[in-house]
Copies of this chain bind each other. A is one copy, B any other.
């Protein structure tokens, strides 16, 4: 209903009513105009009709949706199943060109616009979250690990041919390790240092590693921020300084760190004071979209890697991840995004309190891990639980009681991952002195959910103790699913 159409409509419905309707439409068009000109999150989130109107109009700007288009190529964006077409708002051509995933796709002006806008809003969202001095940012339709692999491939392409090692501050999460080997690189594990309850970066060992192997043999140092307690976020500032000195690229695995203002602060400090080539973050963990995307971002000081990553991606890619992120950011607006961030920051002390309550009732304690702003850990091997032989069933009991996301970490588990043998796998160190369980104060969680979580853990531990002499059966699911 553009102006010409509204004018026509006035011959059918009173002009004064149509005019007011037209002004209402104009208001929405202005929201879109402001978006396109400011290239920032709208202050307030958009309502669904505005989001959909924008996406639909963009879709109609792609050639597969041109009325009268005739396709004579091998890829014309034809979609066979109407349900599939609807789900994707008739977007079919994907984004990027053979050469560059961030390049415009000539057949798809609308998709190109959506992708560009997603990148701009994601950049703004990072700023709002606390990252300063940002350089380029790209959104990849690849999960975090695969995005790490792509970024390492791009790094490697700029390193000496024999640079095949990656110095890696240990984090017992398979994806991060496999991301390195998938890129054809060899991880060199640097163990963490235990300080009190907490496991911290051994900066000196990293330094020694670089010296031992020589800069030219090293593709990158990989650190990790967001992780399970009692591991702390790596000391990215110290490592960044080291990398600056030694001329070695530094990639930060920041999987779900955007949600933490302190991690954002640390990364900002790191790329101000030292060398950070880029960080990689998950879109689903940080922006509550379905699994499937990642961000790669660089600081303003050291630029180039993001562009290199974009140019590494061969072929077009799905626009779906971009669309999810774009719609979510428009849905939130700046205020909504700040609100969920704030709620998360407030969830952490609440979750800690909940866990401390449970711990005190069962003779356990919450590990002291001030260096981890997201994850918390509570011992499971003290008091009445000390006598247990096996702890893993506690995890499955909780899962059967509809508690997801906790991990019960035993001691001294041997496991080989990506060809590397680990001791104490799961605990990030070879001999952590406790069995413990973890819980996260993650984006989108609520305090009431945390309370229910506490109550279920409580009940579960009571059961464990009660049955301690007999058989405690984690598989007795029927009962709890019904409760």
Report the stretch among A174-182, A235-243, A267-275, A297-305 that lies at the interface: A174-182
Asked if A49 lies at the interface with its beta carbon under 8 angstroms from chain B, I say yes
Are A18 and B113 also in contact (CB < 8 A) when A23-B477, A317-B143 are?
yes
**Once bound together, how far apart are the Cα atoms of A321 and B92, in whole Å?**
12
Query: Contact: A402 with B25, CB < 8 Å?
Result: no
Q: In angstroms, how far is the closest chain B Cβ from the Cβ of A49? A: 6
Query: Contact: B113 with A9, CB < 8 Å?
Result: yes
In the complex, what residue of chain B is closest to A376 when comparing beta carbons?
B72
Query: Contact: A315 with B113, CB < 8 Å?
Result: no
* A–B pairs, 30, beta carbons within 8 Å: A1-B61, A4-B29, A8-B37, A9-B36, A12-B36, A12-B120, A17-B112, A23-B481, A24-B60, A24-B67, A25-B57, A28-B60, A51-B83, A56-B56, A68-B402, A69-B402, A70-B402, A72-B450, A73-B405, A74-B226, A78-B288, A80-B288, A80-B340, A88-B290, A94-B290, A98-B174, A98-B175, A143-B317, A145-B314, A146-B315
Query: Contact: A314 with B173, CB < 8 Å?
Result: no
Asked if A207 lies at the interface with its beta carbon under 8 angstroms from chain B, I say no
**Once bound together, how far apart are the Cα atoms of A288 and B88, in whole Å?**
13
Residue numbers in B under 8 Å from A383 (CB-CB): none
Asked if A132 lies at the interface with its beta carbon under 8 angstroms from chain B, I say no
Query: Contact: A5 with B19, CB < 8 Å?
Result: no
Residue numbers in B under 8 Å from A29 (CB-CB): 2, 4-5
Report the stretch among A122-130, A360-368, A439-447 that lies at the interface: A439-447
**Once bound together, how far apart are the Cα atoms of A292 and B77, in whole Å?**
11
A69 contact from B58, B59, B157, B404, Cβ within 8 A: B404
Query: Contact: B13 with A109, CB < 8 Å?
Result: yes
Asked if A406 lies at the interface with its beta carbon under 8 angstroms from chain B, I say yes
Within residues 1 to 43 of chain A, which ones have a CB less than 8 A from any CB in chain B? 1-2, 4-5, 8-9, 11-14, 16-25, 27-29, 31-33, 36-37, 39
Residues of A in contact with B, size category: 35 or more
Residue numbers in B under 8 Å from A312 (CB-CB): 178, 182
Query: Contact: A13 with B71, CB < 8 Å?
Result: no
Query: Contact: A80 with B331, CB < 8 Å?
Result: yes
Query: Contact: B284 with A94, CB < 8 Å?
Result: yes
A291 contact from B67, B92, B449, Cβ within 8 A: B92
A25 contact from B1, B9, B60, B287, Cβ within 8 A: B60
Asked if A91 lies at the interface with its beta carbon under 8 angstroms from chain B, I say yes
Report the stretch among A99-107, A187-195, A210-218 that lies at the interface: A99-107
The 3 closest A-B pairs by CB, nearest first: A73-B405, A292-B318, A21-B61
**Once bound together, how far apart are the Cα atoms of A183 and B452, in whole Å?**
47
Known: A63-B402, A80-B332, A98-B178. 12 other contacts (CB 8 A): A22-B61, A27-B68, A71-B449, A88-B324, A92-B290, A93-B290, A98-B173, A141-B292, A148-B314, A290-B318, A291-B316, A291-B319
A440 contact from B28, B72, B174, Cβ within 8 A: B72
Asked if A285 lies at the interface with its beta carbon under 8 angstroms from chain B, I say yes
Are A404 and B70 also in contact (CB < 8 A) when A146-B317, A315-B175 are?
yes
Residue numbers in B under 8 Å from A22 (CB-CB): 61
Query: Contact: A79 with B315, CB < 8 Å?
Result: no
Contact with B along A338-354 (1 / 0, CB 8 A): 00100000000000000
Within residues 136 to 152 of chain A, which ones have a CB less than 8 A from any CB in chain B? 141-146, 148-150
Most buried by B among A141, A328, A331: A141
Residue numbers in B under 8 Å from A36 (CB-CB): 5, 8-9, 11-12
Asked if A458 lies at the interface with its beta carbon under 8 angstroms from chain B, I say no
In the complex, what residue of chain B is closest to A417 when comparing beta carbons?
B99
Query: Contact: A13 with B84, CB < 8 Å?
Result: no
Query: Contact: A289 with B84, CB < 8 Å?
Result: yes
**Once bound together, how far apart are the Cα atoms of A205 and B36, in whole Å?**
53
Query: Contact: A405 with B76, CB < 8 Å?
Result: yes
Are A13 and B104 also in contact (CB < 8 A) when A19-B477, A83-B52, A284-B94 are?
yes
